[in-house]
Copies of this chain bind each other. A is one copy, B any other.
Amino acid sequence: MSKSATAIAHPNIAFIKYWGNRDDMMRLPANGSISMNLEALYTRTTVTFSTDIPDTVIKINGKSADSSTKFRIDNWLDDLICYLYQKKRLKDAPGNAEIISENSFPTGAGIASSASAFAALTLAVFGALGIETDEADLSCRARHGSGSACRSIPEGFCEWVTGSNEDSYAYSLAPASHWDLVDLIAVISGKHKKVVSSKGHWTADTSPFQEQRVYTAPQRIAVCRQAILEKDFNALAEVSEKDMLMMHSVMMTQDPPLFYWEGPTIRVIKAVREWRKEGLECFATIDAGPNVHVICTGRSAPAVRERMEKISGIREILSSGPGGKAHLV
Protein backbone atom coordinates (compact mmCIF):
# COMPACT_ATOMS: atom_id res chain seq x y z
CA MET A 1 0.00 0.00 0.00
CA SER A 2 1.35 3.45 -0.84
CA LYS A 3 0.49 6.91 0.48
CA SER A 4 1.18 10.00 -1.57
CA ALA A 5 0.89 13.81 -1.44
CA THR A 6 2.01 16.74 -3.56
CA ALA A 7 2.98 20.18 -2.22
CA ILE A 8 4.03 23.47 -3.70
CA ALA A 9 6.29 26.05 -2.02
CA HIS A 10 7.88 29.29 -3.17
CA PRO A 11 11.46 30.40 -2.70
CA ASN A 12 11.94 33.58 -0.69
CA ILE A 13 14.19 36.60 -0.85
CA ALA A 14 15.52 37.90 2.46
CA PHE A 15 15.53 41.59 3.37
CA ILE A 16 17.35 40.86 6.63
CA LYS A 17 19.72 38.02 5.90
CA TYR A 18 20.38 34.68 7.57
CA TRP A 19 24.13 34.07 7.75
CA GLY A 20 25.86 31.82 10.26
CA ASN A 21 24.46 29.48 12.89
CA ARG A 22 24.57 29.39 16.63
CA ASP A 23 24.18 25.63 16.21
CA ASP A 24 25.17 24.13 12.87
CA MET A 25 23.61 20.68 13.40
CA MET A 26 20.25 22.13 14.40
CA ARG A 27 20.45 25.00 11.93
CA LEU A 28 19.73 27.51 14.65
CA PRO A 29 20.51 30.85 13.05
CA ALA A 30 22.99 33.33 14.48
CA ASN A 31 20.38 36.06 13.96
CA GLY A 32 16.73 36.50 13.04
CA SER A 33 15.76 37.23 9.44
CA ILE A 34 12.89 38.59 7.37
CA SER A 35 11.91 37.63 3.84
CA MET A 36 9.25 37.71 1.14
CA ASN A 37 8.03 34.63 -0.71
CA LEU A 38 8.25 34.80 -4.50
CA GLU A 39 4.95 33.95 -6.12
CA ALA A 40 6.19 33.43 -9.68
CA LEU A 41 8.72 30.77 -8.71
CA TYR A 42 7.97 27.48 -7.03
CA THR A 43 9.03 23.95 -6.30
CA ARG A 44 6.43 21.20 -6.73
CA THR A 45 7.20 17.98 -4.89
CA THR A 46 5.38 14.66 -4.72
CA VAL A 47 6.24 12.25 -1.93
CA THR A 48 5.10 8.62 -1.97
CA PHE A 49 5.75 6.27 0.93
CA SER A 50 5.59 2.59 0.22
CA THR A 51 6.97 -0.55 1.80
CA ASP A 52 7.56 -1.74 -1.76
CA ILE A 53 10.28 0.88 -2.38
CA PRO A 54 13.66 -0.74 -1.60
CA ASP A 55 15.54 2.55 -1.01
CA THR A 56 14.76 6.26 -1.05
CA VAL A 57 14.30 7.51 -4.61
CA ILE A 58 14.93 11.23 -5.23
CA LYS A 59 14.39 12.84 -8.61
CA ILE A 60 14.94 16.58 -9.08
CA ASN A 61 13.95 18.08 -12.42
CA GLY A 62 13.83 14.61 -13.95
CA LYS A 63 17.28 13.53 -12.80
CA SER A 64 18.37 11.32 -9.91
CA ALA A 65 19.77 13.46 -7.11
CA ASP A 66 23.54 13.46 -6.70
CA SER A 67 24.99 11.55 -3.75
CA SER A 68 25.48 14.55 -1.45
CA THR A 69 21.90 15.75 -1.99
CA LYS A 70 20.59 12.22 -1.40
CA PHE A 71 22.67 11.94 1.77
CA ARG A 72 21.33 15.26 3.04
CA ILE A 73 17.67 14.42 2.33
CA ASP A 74 18.01 10.85 3.68
CA ASN A 75 19.44 12.14 6.95
CA TRP A 76 16.79 14.80 7.29
CA LEU A 77 13.98 12.32 6.54
CA ASP A 78 15.33 9.76 9.03
CA ASP A 79 15.42 12.45 11.72
CA LEU A 80 11.89 13.57 10.88
CA ILE A 81 10.45 10.03 10.98
CA CYS A 82 12.27 9.46 14.28
CA TYR A 83 10.85 12.70 15.69
CA LEU A 84 7.32 11.70 14.64
CA TYR A 85 7.71 8.31 16.34
CA GLN A 86 8.95 9.94 19.52
CA LYS A 87 5.99 12.30 19.52
CA LYS A 88 3.71 9.27 18.94
CA ARG A 89 2.30 10.90 15.82
CA LEU A 90 3.47 8.01 13.69
CA LYS A 91 2.78 4.41 14.61
CA ASP A 92 3.55 2.15 11.67
CA ALA A 93 6.71 2.23 9.59
CA PRO A 94 5.76 4.08 6.40
CA GLY A 95 8.31 2.32 4.21
CA ASN A 96 10.70 4.15 1.99
CA ALA A 97 9.99 7.37 0.11
CA GLU A 98 9.93 8.25 -3.52
CA ILE A 99 10.47 12.00 -3.91
CA ILE A 100 9.79 13.69 -7.24
CA SER A 101 10.59 17.39 -7.29
CA GLU A 102 10.39 19.99 -10.04
CA ASN A 103 11.41 23.65 -10.00
CA SER A 104 9.50 26.17 -12.09
CA PHE A 105 12.62 28.26 -12.49
CA PRO A 106 15.65 27.47 -14.64
CA THR A 107 18.28 25.47 -12.79
CA GLY A 108 21.74 26.91 -12.95
CA ALA A 109 20.30 30.42 -12.95
CA GLY A 110 21.79 30.82 -9.50
CA ILE A 111 18.43 30.95 -7.76
CA ALA A 112 18.64 29.09 -4.49
CA SER A 113 16.16 26.24 -4.55
CA SER A 114 16.85 24.64 -1.19
CA ALA A 115 14.33 26.87 0.61
CA SER A 116 11.36 26.04 -1.62
CA ALA A 117 12.60 22.44 -1.96
CA PHE A 118 12.64 21.66 1.76
CA ALA A 119 9.42 23.59 2.39
CA ALA A 120 7.54 21.64 -0.29
CA LEU A 121 9.17 18.39 0.81
CA THR A 122 8.23 18.88 4.45
CA LEU A 123 4.62 19.58 3.64
CA ALA A 124 4.41 16.67 1.17
CA VAL A 125 5.88 14.27 3.75
CA PHE A 126 3.31 15.30 6.37
CA GLY A 127 0.58 15.08 3.72
CA ALA A 128 1.63 11.64 2.53
CA LEU A 129 1.81 10.36 6.10
CA GLY A 130 -1.57 11.90 6.82
CA ILE A 131 -0.29 13.78 9.86
CA GLU A 132 -1.97 17.05 10.78
CA THR A 133 0.21 19.70 12.33
CA ASP A 134 0.50 23.47 12.66
CA GLU A 135 2.50 25.93 10.62
CA ALA A 136 5.16 26.51 13.28
CA ASP A 137 5.91 22.80 13.43
CA LEU A 138 6.14 22.57 9.63
CA SER A 139 8.42 25.60 9.55
CA CYS A 140 10.63 24.12 12.26
CA ARG A 141 10.89 20.76 10.46
CA ALA A 142 11.71 22.49 7.15
CA ARG A 143 14.39 24.50 8.97
CA HIS A 144 16.22 21.28 9.84
CA GLY A 145 16.60 20.58 6.12
CA SER A 146 17.66 24.06 5.04
CA GLY A 147 17.59 27.08 7.32
CA SER A 148 15.84 29.51 5.01
CA ALA A 149 13.24 26.84 4.07
CA CYS A 150 11.43 27.66 7.31
CA ARG A 151 10.56 31.05 5.77
CA SER A 152 8.93 29.41 2.74
CA ILE A 153 6.26 27.70 4.86
CA PRO A 154 4.14 30.70 5.97
CA GLU A 155 2.42 33.28 3.85
CA GLY A 156 3.78 36.45 2.19
CA PHE A 157 6.22 38.39 4.36
CA CYS A 158 7.84 36.20 7.01
CA GLU A 159 10.05 36.60 10.05
CA TRP A 160 12.23 33.74 11.29
CA VAL A 161 12.99 34.02 15.01
CA THR A 162 16.21 32.65 16.45
CA GLY A 163 14.90 30.46 19.29
CA SER A 164 16.60 27.43 20.79
CA ASN A 165 15.03 24.66 18.70
CA GLU A 166 11.29 24.05 18.62
CA ASP A 167 10.76 27.80 18.94
CA SER A 168 13.00 28.69 16.01
CA TYR A 169 10.58 28.99 13.09
CA ALA A 170 9.09 31.56 10.75
CA TYR A 171 5.69 33.19 11.02
CA SER A 172 3.86 35.47 8.64
CA LEU A 173 4.20 39.20 9.31
CA ALA A 174 1.74 40.05 6.54
CA PRO A 175 -0.01 38.20 3.71
CA ALA A 176 1.15 38.40 0.10
CA SER A 177 -1.68 40.80 -0.68
CA HIS A 178 -0.41 43.29 1.93
CA TRP A 179 2.02 45.12 -0.40
CA ASP A 180 2.43 44.97 -4.16
CA LEU A 181 6.21 44.73 -4.18
CA VAL A 182 7.93 43.26 -7.22
CA ASP A 183 11.21 41.37 -7.24
CA LEU A 184 13.01 41.87 -10.55
CA ILE A 185 15.74 39.24 -10.49
CA ALA A 186 18.76 40.15 -12.60
CA VAL A 187 20.18 36.79 -13.60
CA ILE A 188 23.87 37.43 -14.08
CA SER A 189 25.59 35.65 -16.92
CA GLY A 190 29.01 34.10 -16.75
CA LYS A 191 30.59 31.15 -15.05
CA HIS A 192 29.75 31.04 -11.37
CA LYS A 193 31.93 29.19 -8.95
CA LYS A 194 29.49 27.40 -6.76
CA VAL A 195 30.07 27.70 -3.05
CA VAL A 196 27.67 25.57 -1.03
CA SER A 197 26.12 28.02 1.39
CA SER A 198 25.92 25.51 4.27
CA LYS A 199 29.72 25.52 4.48
CA GLY A 200 29.73 29.32 4.36
CA HIS A 201 27.40 29.41 7.37
CA TRP A 202 29.75 27.15 9.32
CA THR A 203 32.71 29.51 8.85
CA ALA A 204 30.86 32.83 9.25
CA ASP A 205 32.43 33.25 12.69
CA THR A 206 35.90 33.48 11.13
CA SER A 207 35.02 36.96 9.85
CA PRO A 208 36.07 39.73 12.24
CA PHE A 209 32.71 41.38 11.44
CA GLN A 210 30.23 38.55 12.07
CA GLU A 211 29.91 39.22 15.80
CA GLN A 212 29.00 42.86 15.21
CA ARG A 213 26.60 41.93 12.40
CA VAL A 214 24.79 39.49 14.69
CA TYR A 215 24.82 41.88 17.63
CA THR A 216 23.16 44.67 15.63
CA ALA A 217 20.69 42.43 13.76
CA PRO A 218 17.77 42.83 16.21
CA GLN A 219 17.78 46.58 15.50
CA ARG A 220 17.61 45.98 11.77
CA ILE A 221 14.91 43.33 12.25
CA ALA A 222 12.80 45.85 14.17
CA VAL A 223 13.22 48.54 11.50
CA CYS A 224 12.49 46.10 8.67
CA ARG A 225 9.41 44.63 10.38
CA GLN A 226 7.94 48.07 10.95
CA ALA A 227 8.77 49.18 7.40
CA ILE A 228 6.84 46.19 6.05
CA LEU A 229 3.88 46.69 8.37
CA GLU A 230 3.70 50.41 7.51
CA LYS A 231 4.62 49.89 3.83
CA ASP A 232 7.44 52.42 4.23
CA PHE A 233 9.46 51.69 1.10
CA ASN A 234 12.41 53.96 1.80
CA ALA A 235 12.90 52.57 5.28
CA LEU A 236 12.77 49.03 3.87
CA ALA A 237 15.24 49.97 1.12
CA GLU A 238 17.79 51.53 3.46
CA VAL A 239 17.79 48.79 6.07
CA SER A 240 17.76 45.98 3.49
CA GLU A 241 20.66 47.34 1.45
CA LYS A 242 22.67 47.95 4.60
CA ASP A 243 21.97 44.44 5.88
CA MET A 244 22.89 42.90 2.52
CA LEU A 245 26.16 44.81 2.38
CA MET A 246 26.92 43.74 5.94
CA MET A 247 26.36 40.07 5.06
CA HIS A 248 28.57 40.27 1.96
CA SER A 249 31.21 42.11 4.00
CA VAL A 250 31.21 39.17 6.41
CA MET A 251 31.39 36.69 3.51
CA MET A 252 34.33 38.46 1.87
CA THR A 253 36.26 38.63 5.13
CA GLN A 254 35.63 35.02 6.18
CA ASP A 255 38.39 32.45 6.08
CA PRO A 256 38.36 31.36 3.28
CA PRO A 257 36.68 34.45 1.85
CA LEU A 258 33.53 33.99 -0.22
CA PHE A 259 33.07 36.23 -3.24
CA TYR A 260 29.58 35.84 -4.65
CA TRP A 261 29.61 39.05 -6.67
CA GLU A 262 30.43 39.18 -10.35
CA GLY A 263 31.21 42.30 -12.38
CA PRO A 264 27.55 43.04 -13.29
CA THR A 265 26.51 42.52 -9.66
CA ILE A 266 28.34 45.65 -8.53
CA ARG A 267 27.11 47.56 -11.58
CA VAL A 268 23.50 46.82 -10.65
CA ILE A 269 24.03 47.68 -6.96
CA LYS A 270 25.42 51.09 -7.89
CA ALA A 271 22.87 51.81 -10.62
CA VAL A 272 19.92 50.98 -8.38
CA ARG A 273 21.13 53.42 -5.74
CA GLU A 274 21.28 56.17 -8.35
CA TRP A 275 17.78 55.35 -9.60
CA ARG A 276 16.43 55.56 -6.05
CA LYS A 277 17.98 59.01 -5.67
CA GLU A 278 16.17 59.97 -8.86
CA GLY A 279 12.87 58.94 -7.30
CA LEU A 280 12.31 55.37 -8.43
CA GLU A 281 11.27 53.08 -5.60
CA CYS A 282 13.83 50.30 -5.83
CA PHE A 283 16.64 48.71 -3.89
CA ALA A 284 19.07 45.86 -4.43
CA THR A 285 19.57 42.75 -2.37
CA ILE A 286 21.77 39.74 -3.03
CA ASP A 287 21.79 36.26 -1.54
CA ALA A 288 24.68 33.81 -1.63
CA GLY A 289 25.04 34.11 -5.41
CA PRO A 290 25.77 36.66 -8.12
CA ASN A 291 22.16 37.53 -9.02
CA VAL A 292 20.74 40.83 -7.88
CA HIS A 293 17.17 40.99 -6.64
CA VAL A 294 15.91 44.46 -7.41
CA ILE A 295 12.90 45.00 -5.15
CA CYS A 296 10.53 47.72 -6.33
CA THR A 297 7.02 48.92 -5.82
CA GLY A 298 4.50 47.91 -8.48
CA ARG A 299 4.39 51.55 -9.55
CA SER A 300 8.13 51.80 -10.19
CA ALA A 301 8.65 48.27 -11.55
CA PRO A 302 8.14 49.01 -15.30
CA ALA A 303 10.62 51.91 -15.29
CA VAL A 304 13.13 49.95 -13.23
CA ARG A 305 12.88 46.96 -15.54
CA GLU A 306 13.43 49.17 -18.58
CA ARG A 307 16.62 50.55 -17.04
CA MET A 308 17.83 47.12 -15.95
CA GLU A 309 17.55 45.87 -19.53
CA LYS A 310 20.23 48.37 -20.54
CA ILE A 311 22.83 47.07 -18.09
CA SER A 312 25.37 44.78 -19.71
CA GLY A 313 25.96 41.34 -18.25
CA ILE A 314 22.37 40.61 -17.24
CA ARG A 315 21.30 37.39 -18.98
CA GLU A 316 17.61 37.63 -18.17
CA ILE A 317 15.24 39.31 -15.77
CA LEU A 318 12.72 37.25 -13.82
CA SER A 319 9.81 39.02 -12.17
CA SER A 320 7.76 38.05 -9.15
CA GLY A 321 5.32 39.51 -6.65
CA PRO A 322 4.90 38.33 -3.04
CA GLY A 323 4.01 34.64 -2.78
CA GLY A 324 1.61 32.65 -0.63
CA LYS A 325 2.33 29.88 1.81
CA ALA A 326 3.42 26.34 1.08
CA HIS A 327 0.33 24.26 0.29
CA LEU A 328 -0.81 20.81 -0.67
CA VAL A 329 -2.29 20.34 -4.14
Do A253 and B246 touch (CB < 8 A)? yes
Minimum CB–CB distance from A274 to chain B (whole Å) comes to 9
Q: Which of A241-274 contact B (CB under 8 A)?
A: 241-242, 245-246, 248-250, 252-253, 257, 259, 261-267, 269-270, 273
Cβ–Cβ < 8 Å partners of A241 in chain B:
257
Is A59 close to B, CB under 8 A?
Answer: no
Any chain B CB within 8 A of the CB of A110?
A: no
Copies in the complex: 2
Question: Which partner residue on chain B sits nearest A249 by CB separation?
Answer: B249
Q: Chain B residue with minimal CB distance to A193?
A: B270
Q: How many residues of A contact B (CB 8 A)?
A: 28
Q: Which of A125-145 contact B (CB under 8 A)?
A: none
Partner of A263, one of B212, B253, B263: B263
Closest B-chain residue to A268, C-beta based?
Answer: B263
A203 to B257 CA separation, bound complex (whole angstroms): 26
| A298: Cβ under 8 A from any B Cβ | no
* Contact string against B for A residues 187-214, beta-carbon threshold 8 Å, 1 for contact and 0 otherwise: 0000000000000000000001101110
Interface contacts beyond A208-B216, A209-B249: sample of 6 additional A-B pairs, CB < 8 Å, sorted by A = A208-B246, A245-B252, A249-B250, A259-B273, A262-B266, A263-B264
List the B side residues contacting A175 at CB < 8 Å.
none
Contact of A242 with B249 in the complex, beta carbons under 8 Å: no
What sequence of 0s and 1s flags, for each residue 269-290 of chain A, a beta carbon within 8 Å of any chain B beta carbon?
1100100000000000000000
